[in-house]
Amino acid sequence: MNDQTSTPDYEAEYNNRARVPEHPGIIAGWQRDAAAYRAEAVCELGVRYGEGARQSYDLFKPQEAKGEAIVLFIHGGYWQALDPSFFSHMARGLNRLGVPVAVAGYDLCPQVEVGHIVWEVQHAAAALWRRFERPVVAIGHSAGGHLSACLLATNWANVDAGLPERLVPAACGISGLYNLKPLTETSINTALGLTLEGAERESPLFWPAPSGLTMDAVVGGAESAEYLRQSRRIVDVWALEGVRTRYEAIPEANHFTVIKGLADPDDTLTRRVAALAGA
């Protein structure tokens, strides 16, 4: 008899690389496409926003800026891998629609803690606002989805009293993680070093909900039950607290292919993010 109340196998549920054996080819494709876009785009590379080795962003500019906001793309890698050079092409679709995009880097675990990474991306968003005086729409993949939700729920007065209350009015988490507590039971936590208490503290699901703001949670339809649950849960919980939420599962997309549409200006995801940015 199956025990329907048994605890999920978190190691298997969150091991995306094992679930998608072809991931090395997909990641290599990211590198190629990102390098190709850097070669053709109007861009500023390695703009510093802090003192840390990885605290910089690459800015990709449209031919003609439209809308009201700048988009901040935050990469994934379970807070311990990858960097912006893999994701430059994530700006291509939005640039074609007139939206400027900054692709941010951040220091990685175990050199820093997850909470420090949250602090870093808060300062990246603040730096963009100070430079352009435009609101920032935060979008991110996987761990970057977590960080995007954290930015939406940030009390900006605690970062700097001079920052606007709604510095980040909208976020789109793509295959994001919003409750980090299950990760404490996986090998992913070897680098993260999260206690249960620390995992709850760094989980936006347990933060005061950003009432009146907009949160999209997008996930691949072919992803694990835990990833589907994570996205559905943040949408359901925050909606009860007055957040404008939206859930979407992209059919047949896995954890690595779910972001490919951002390179295409005609893709539904790209157009949705452009609309969040007012374009």
Domain that holds residue 37: 10-276
pLDDT in tens, 59-100: 999 999 998 999 999 999 999 999 999 999 999 999 999 999
What total number of domains does the chain contain?
1
Res 6 pLDDT > 90: no
Q: Torsions phi, psi of 236, nearest 5?
A: -65, -45
Residue found by looking up tokens 């590379």 in the block: 45
Question: Residue 62 domain-assigned?
Answer: yes
230-267 residues labelled b (16+ CB within 10 A) or e (exposed): bbeebbebbeeeebebebbbbeebbbbbbbbbbbebee
The mean predicted confidence, pLDDT, of the chain is: 96
% the chain with pLDDT above 90: 96
pLDDT at 5: 55
pLDDT at 249: 98
* Residues 239, 233: Cα–Cα separation, whole Å: 10
Question: Residue 202 domain-assigned?
Answer: yes
Res 263 pLDDT > 70: yes
pLDDT at 1: 39
pLDDT at 2: 45
Question: Residue 3 domain-assigned?
Answer: no
> Residue 100 in contact with residue 62, Cβ under 8 Å?
yes
Question: Residue 1 domain-assigned?
Answer: no
- The amino acid present at 110, given as its one-letter code, is P
Question: Residue 5 domain-assigned?
Answer: no
* Residues 215, 149: Cα–Cα separation, whole Å: 8
pLDDT in tens, 179-210: 999 999 999 999 999 999 999 999 999 999 99
pLDDT in tens, 217-254: 999 999 999 999 999 999 999 999 999 999 999 999 99
CATH number at residue 45: 3.40.50.1820
Strands (E) in 121-237, as ranges, are 136-141, 170-174, 214-220
